[in-house]
Amino acid sequence: MGFPLAMTKSVSIIGAGTIGGYGGYLLGRAGYSVSIYEDHKVIGEPCHCTGIITSSILKMVDLPTEIVLNKLSSVKVIGPNGKSCVLPTTDIVVDRVKLDEHFVGLAEKEGAKLYRSHKMVSCDLKEKKFVISHEGKEETHSFSTLVGADGPNSSLAKLLNPSLKRKHWIGPQAVISGTFDKSQYEVYLNNDFCKGFFAWVVPSSSTTAVVGLAVRDRASHHFKKFMEMRFGKAYKEKVIRYLGGLIPLYDSGINCYKNGVYLVGDAGGHVKATTGGGIIPGMKAARGLVASLKSGKDYDKTWRKQTGFNLFTHLKIRHMLDTFSDTDYNRLIEYMGGKRVQKVMKNSDREYPASFALRLFFAEPRLARFATRLL
Ligand SMILES: Cc1cc2nc3c(=O)[nH]c(=O)nc-3n(C[C@H](O)[C@H](O)[C@H](O)COP(=O)(O)OP(=O)(O)OC[C@H]3O[C@@H](n4cnc5c(N)ncnc54)[C@H](O)[C@@H]3O)c2cc1C
pLDDT of residue 249: 97
Please indicate whether residue 40, judged by its CB atom, sits closer than 6 Å to ligand 1: yes
Residue 337 backbone phi and psi in degrees, to 5? -75, -15
Q: Round the average pLDDT of the chain to a whole number and report it.
A: 94
Please indicate whether residue 328, judged by its CB atom, sits closer than 6 Å to ligand 1: no
Half-sphere exposure of 257 (CA within 13 A, CB side): 23
Positions of E strands within 15-102: 33-37, 52-53, 68-71, 74-78, 84-88, 92-94
Look at 54-58, 180-184, 370-374 and tell me which has the smallest mean pLDDT: 370-374
pLDDT of residue 233: 97
| % of the chain exceeding 70 in pLDDT | 98
pLDDT of residue 3: 41
How far does the centroid of ligand 1 lie from the alpha carbon of residue 300, in Å? 21
How far does the centroid of ligand 1 lie from the alpha carbon of residue 91, in Å? 19
- Find out whether 201 and 211 touch, Cβ atoms under 8 Å: yes
- Find out whether 209 and 202 touch, Cβ atoms under 8 Å: yes
pLDDT at 100 over 90: yes
Q: Distance between CA 280 and CA 45 in Å, rounded?
A: 20
How far does the centroid of ligand 1 lie from the alpha carbon of residue 4, in Å? 25
pLDDT of residue 345: 85
309-325 average pLDDT score: 94
pLDDT of residue 4: 47
340 vs 300: which has the higher pLDDT: 300
pLDDT of residue 343: 87
Closest residue (by CA) to atom 39 of ligand 1? 150
Nearest-atom index, ligand 1, CA of 214 = 1
Using pLDDT thresholds of 50, 70 and 90, give the confidence band for residue 7: low
pLDDT of residue 60: 96
Other Cβ atoms within 10 Å of 142 Cβ, number:
12
Residue 186 backbone phi and psi in degrees, to 5? -115, 140
pLDDT of residue 231: 97
Render pLDDT for 148-172 as a digit per residue (tens, 0 to 9): 999 999 999 999 999 999 999 999 9
Structural domains of the chain in order of their starting residue, each with its CATH number:
10-46+96-164+251-318 (3.50.50.60), 52-92+167-248 (3.30.9.10), 325-374 (no CATH)
Please indicate whether residue 23, judged by its CB atom, sits closer than 6 Å to ligand 1: no
Please indicate whether residue 48, judged by its CB atom, sits closer than 6 Å to ligand 1: yes
pLDDT of residue 1: 42
pLDDT of residue 369: 84
Render pLDDT for 33-73 as a digit per residue (tens, 0 to 9): 999 999 999 999 999 999 999 999 999 999 999 999 999 99
Each as own residue / partner, the long-range contacts of residues 301-306 (CB below 8 Å, 24 or more positions apart, any chain) are 301/2, 303/256, 303/264, 303/268, 303/270
How far does the centroid of ligand 1 lie from the alpha carbon of residue 37, in Å? 15
